[in-house]
């Protein structure tokens, strides 16, 4: 019997609303068309790494499934309401142990029209043009190296307004694991010279937290502001610039961070088109209360080549210049109908290469040393 976590309890109002909507839709079947969809994603994964944690097996097997139920109802020609529910279940099997994990994946209710979209519940919120080194990964865990395309969600109310065809306004309020409400917004402007975005977020949480997908830890209430831009023409070009500032200036720890990502891509006319991409990110973390600072520089290189209708090759190299670490990832994907087969080869720094005691490193096989992985994905 699966036990829902605290996330679902906090959103019981959404659950009640969804239940009420289902009843309304079910009782009016004779009058209204009710698109109903039951989809899902199954994945199986076998990974072998040559640098596992102490007392752990070098083989890891994953089996997982996400069922997804969606239901919608048209209110008029240009207005509709819909909902989505999905739940993530996974078995992770080692030679010495089996670990089962489960959690709500999506649970939201949405109203949409030509000029407005309002969505409440456990949902995905993602923005910004960067592909690998994402300065604006504030609420998601999108990773181009993950063939499943899965990402974590946040409990939120998000409102999107479309005053004109070239302007979009976002407003949101998110709920953290500690039941702290934060809020923010974003403006997106489409012009003849590219796509612009301006984002702001205010988080009053008293406890420290990690922000984004990089080693950024901010203590106490803080604010985030960002500017991003993308140009698509003969080549693609984009940048993301973000600042994260703690409200308190007395903390001796790092309390201000600036992140800047610069990227470009170009498609070489080889075969079906060889996409090459390069990104560089710089992170600065000074303190206003102590003579301390942190500077990090990363570079990501990606090449993606569809060979034909079935086969696809992708290579990603990520360089940590300050620690002299290079992470290499090569994937051969085969897609047929609802199935996806993925053969993955990776080379990463070994545990001995880090200036961190091994007991403090992640207890995972992935991400250390040389890895070979096979993943089967079935979407229905």
pLDDT given for residue 251 in this prediction: 56
Q: What are the percentages of helix, strand and coil residues in the chain, rounded to 5?
A: 5, 55, 35
> DSSP assignment, residue 53?
P
* Phi, psi dihedrals of residue 3, rounded to the nearest 5°: -110, 120
Q: Which parts of the chain have pLDDT scores under 70?
A: 1-34, 249-254, 287-293
Task: Kindly report the pTM of this predicted structure.
Answer: 0.86
In this prediction, what percent of the chain has a pLDDT beyond 70?
87
Within a 10 A sphere around the Cβ of 23, how many other Cβ atoms? Answer: 10
SS3 19: helix
pLDDT given for residue 26 in this prediction: 52
pLDDT given for residue 127 in this prediction: 97
Q: Is the dihedral of CA 23, 26, 31, 34 positive or negative?
A: positive
E strand or H helix at 6, and its extent?
A: helix 6-10
Q: Which two tokens stand for residue 48?
A: 């072998």
Contact predicate 106/124, CB 8 Å: yes
pLDDT given for residue 165 in this prediction: 94
* Listed residue (370, 321, 330) closest to 348, CA to CA: 370
* Phi, psi dihedrals of residue 79, rounded to the nearest 5°: -135, 140
pLDDT given for residue 252 in this prediction: 54
Q: Which two tokens stand for residue 236?
A: 């693609």
pLDDT given for residue 242 in this prediction: 96
């Amino acid at each position: 019997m699966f036990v829902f976590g605290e996330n679902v309890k906090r959103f019981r109002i959404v659950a009640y609303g969804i239940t009420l909507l289902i009843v309304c839709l079910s009782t009016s079947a004779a009058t209204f068309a009710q698109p109903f969809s039951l989809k899902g994603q199954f994945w199986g994964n076998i990974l072998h790494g040559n640098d596992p944690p102490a007392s752990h097996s070098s083989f890891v097997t994953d089996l997982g499934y996400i069922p997804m139920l969606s239901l919608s109802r048209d209110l008029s020609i240009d207005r509709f309401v819909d909902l989505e529910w999905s739940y993530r279940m996974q078995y992770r099997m080692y030679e010495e142990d089996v670990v089962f994990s489960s959690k709500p994946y999506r649970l939201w209710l949405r109203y949409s029209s030509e000029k407005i979209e309002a969505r409440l519940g456990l949902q995905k919120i993602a923005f910004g043009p960067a592909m690998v080194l994402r300065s604006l990964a504030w609420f998601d865990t999108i990773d181009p190296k993950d063939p499943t395309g899965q990402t974590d969600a946040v409990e939120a109310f998000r409102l999107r307004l479309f005053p004109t065809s070239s302007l979009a306004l976002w407003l949101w309020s998110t709920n953290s694991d500690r039941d702290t409400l934060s809020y923010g917004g974003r403006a997106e402007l489409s012009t003849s010279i590219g796509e612009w975005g301006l984002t702001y977020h205010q988080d009053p949480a008293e406890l420290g937290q990690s922000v984004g997908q990089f080693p950024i830890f901010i203590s106490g209430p803080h604010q985030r502001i960002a500017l991003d831009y993308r140009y698509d023409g003969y080549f693609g070009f984009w940048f993301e610039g973000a600042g994260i500032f703690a409200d308190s200036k007395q903390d001796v720890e790092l309390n201000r961070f600036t992140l800047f990502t610069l990227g470009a891509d170009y498609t070489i006319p080889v075969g079906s088109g060889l996409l090459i991409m390069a990104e560089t990110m710089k992170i600065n973390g000074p303190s206003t209360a102590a003579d301390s600072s942190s500077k990090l520089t990363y570079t990501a290189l990606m090449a993606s080549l569809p060979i034909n209708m079935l086969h696809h090759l992708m290579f990603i190299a990520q360089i940590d210049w300050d620690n002299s670490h290079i992470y290499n990832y090569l994937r051969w994907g085969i897609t047929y109908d609802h199935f996806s087969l993925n053969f993955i080869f990776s080379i990463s720094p070994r545990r001995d290469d880090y200036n961190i005691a091994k007991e403090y490193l992640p207890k995972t096989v992935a991400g250390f040393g040389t890895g070979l992985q096979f993943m089967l994905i079935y979407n229905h």
